[in-house]
Amino acid sequence: MAKKYIIAIDLGGTNLKVALLDLNYRIIARQSFSTRNFSKKDKLIGAIVNSVDKIQKARRLDKQNILGVGLGLPGSADTERGIVYSLTNIPGWKDVRLGRILKQKLRLSVFMDNDANLMCLAEYRLGRARGLRYAVCLTLGTGVGAGIIADGRLYRGANNAAAEVGHLPINEDGPACNCGGKGCLETYIGNNRILAQAKKIFRRSISLEETSRLAAEGDKRALAFWSRTGEHLGVALAGVVNLLNPEAVIIGGGVANAGKALFDKVKKVIRERAMRVQARQVKVFKARLGDAAGLIGAAIMVREALKK
């Protein structure tokens, strides 16, 4: 029998990643593109198809070597019918039957889901949430993505649109959010917002990496900056912990690299503000799979969908 692989695609607002994984979820080959190079929908789909073809040819694989294609999206989608409702930070996508389009062009089985769900699935099967029955996974970047594990499975909601932790309001009269809401967590801890805040505090443009390094060195301004970010995140998570009573909250994405300065504050706020039983139960971990979580989750999705 032909050796089997899985194609995984992680479509982000910044980067498009395409990879080949084996059935142990090891990444065998990968390509990365700047999403902004493909401003038109058809161009982006063309780039995905080209990349998948190239990876197959480079390894001399044909269709029967490929179990299927898994795609992670920064937005909401009908995973069963393969319809993309909309993509955050990528304009021009509305109710696109991407599943059918890719299937026709690639002649492979195609599965898709929200990228935060796939990151959560990866952490659940192979990372920090392994073996848990109830967990919440966050990716902190431009936006706040999240997935929920409930009773050992991804919690989906009526439209597979659940787990929007970034859009929990933490102040009734807080700033307007892109989503139409007000005072959403994302308006306090989204990348753009905290970069602007860091610039104010340090009176110059400063990367989050640098603020993290400075915090680790004990710089007071950097510590105050991360403490404030952790306070907002902790308040929202206290609510999530009261509502979902998870065993763990797992935090990944670029912002999670802030490390101790952020995590200590988040843990403290949850301990102080969440209810006794729930607060005692919950652990806060850094995600284990890092940057590859989306690709690994996409591959796991394909494997599990085909096993059913």
Q: Give the pair of three-digit tokens for residue 76.
A: 């909401």
- Contact between 142 and a second copy by CB under 8 A: the answer reads no
Q: Which member of 114, 117, 139, 160 binds a second copy (CB under 8 A)?
A: 160
Number of neighbours of residue 196 by Cβ within 10 angstroms: 11
The size of the interface with a second copy (CB under 8 A), counted in residues, is 50
User: Is 167 a residue that touches a second copy (CB under 8 A)?
Assistant: yes
Tell which one of 213, 273, 286, 288 touches a second copy (CB under 8 A). Answer: 273
**Distance between CA atoms of residues 123 and 115, nearest Å:** 12
What's the maximum distance between 2 C-alpha atoms anywhere in the chain? 62
Listed in sequence order, the residues at least 6 apart from 151 whose beta carbon sits closer than 8 Å to its beta carbon are 133, 134
Residue 24 CB, nearest approach to a second copy (Å): 30
Q: Is 277 in the site for a second copy (CB under 8 A)?
A: yes
Single residue of 96, 116, 118, 162 touching a second copy by CB under 8 A: 162
DSSP reduced 3-state for 155: coil
Give min distance, CB of 152 to a second copy, in A.
11
Contact region with a second copy (CB under 8 A), list: 97-105, 178-186, 205-213, 256-264: 178-186
- Told to check if 99 binds a second copy by CB under 8 A, we report no
Among 164, 256, 263, 267, binds a second copy (CB under 8 A): 164
Residues with Cβ within 8 Å of 72's Cβ and at least 6 positions away in sequence, in order, are 8, 9, 10, 11, 112, 113, 114, 115, 118, 119, 294, 295, 297, 298
Lookup result for tokens 């991360």: 226
Is there binding between residue 138 and a second copy (CB under 8 A)?
Answer: no
Of the listed pieces 92-100, 201-209, 237-245, 250-258, which binds a second copy according to CB under 8 A? 237-245
Backbone angles phi, psi at 225, to 5 degrees: -60, -50
Task: Kindly state whether residue 82 participates in binding a second copy, applying the rule CB under 8 A.
Answer: no
> Which amino acid, residue 71?
L
User: Quick check: 133 binds a second copy (CB under 8 A)?
Assistant: yes
Q: Which of 292, 286, 196 is nearest to 250 (CA)?
A: 286
Using CB under 8 A, list all residues that contact a second copy: 76, 85, 133-134, 150-151, 153, 155-165, 167-172, 179-182, 231-232, 235-236, 238-240, 242-247, 272-278, 281-282
